[in-house]
Amino acid sequence: MTEYVSPTSADEPDSAFEEQLLFNLVYCSQVSDGIGQTEVDAIVATARRFNPALGITGVLVFGSGVFFQWIEGPKTNVLELVNRIEADSRHKQMTILSSDEEIRERIFPTWDMELVGADDIRDVLEDALHTAQEAKNVDALKGLIKSLEDHS
């Protein structure tokens, strides 16, 4: 008897599944001495130039000398970018706060890397919370909002 192979599993290579995995990573760091708004604007311009081609979206928060960045996209691209960012002398003491990989919606689907001030990050996260559908994203956003409250 011929073994039955379902057309779906036979036609879909593993990579088709992997392409749907979305990796996200959150880190914070401290701005280096002598780096101000002009340099931060240049960083954002670079991000907007490179990120779309890599399928990367996210948000960069800058305030009180601290960077906080949420990066989401294909895992290889995100990790390659994070290595580049880590080597960047415009900041120091980079600390990865969390990373996660699974099939899920993007939290910032239309932002190739938006810069927001620390005062506005709460509004940004609240907006994202309103549009988030997946329980996991809702939890992640609530956790970030809570950690902001704890540190304010």
107 makes contact with ligand FMN (CB under 6 A): no
CB of 24 to ligand FMN, least distance (A): 13
Q: Which residues pair with 49 in a beta bridge?
A: none
Q: Which of residues 27-86 bind ligand FMN (CB under 6 A)?
A: 43, 46-47, 50-51, 60, 67, 69, 81, 84-85
Distance of CA 126 to the CA centre of its chain: 16
Binding segment for ligand FMN among 88-96, 103-111, 121-129, 142-150 (CB under 6 A)?
A: 88-96
Q: Which one among 59, 61, 82, 113 touches ligand FMN, defined by CB under 6 A?
A: 113
Does the footprint of ligand FMN cover residue 91 (CB under 6 A)?
yes
Of 17 and 52, the one with the shorter C-beta distance to ligand FMN is 52
* Residue 62 or 125 having the CB closest to ligand FMN: 62
Contacts by 50-58, CB closer than 8 A, 24 or more apart: 50/81, 51/81, 51/112, 51/113, 52/112, 54/80, 54/81, 56/81, 56/112, 56/113, 57/106, 57/108, 57/109, 57/110, 57/111, 57/112, 57/113, 58/24, 58/108, 58/111, 58/113, 58/114
Binding of residue 116 to ligand FMN (CB under 6 A): no
Q: Please, which residue, 46 or 93, has the CB nearer to ligand FMN?
A: 46
- Orientation angle between helical segments 121-131 and 135-151, nearest 10 degrees: 160
End-to-end CA gap in the chain: 69
Q: Which residues bind ligand FMN (CB under 6 A)?
A: 43, 46-47, 50-51, 60, 67, 69, 81, 84-85, 88, 90-91, 113
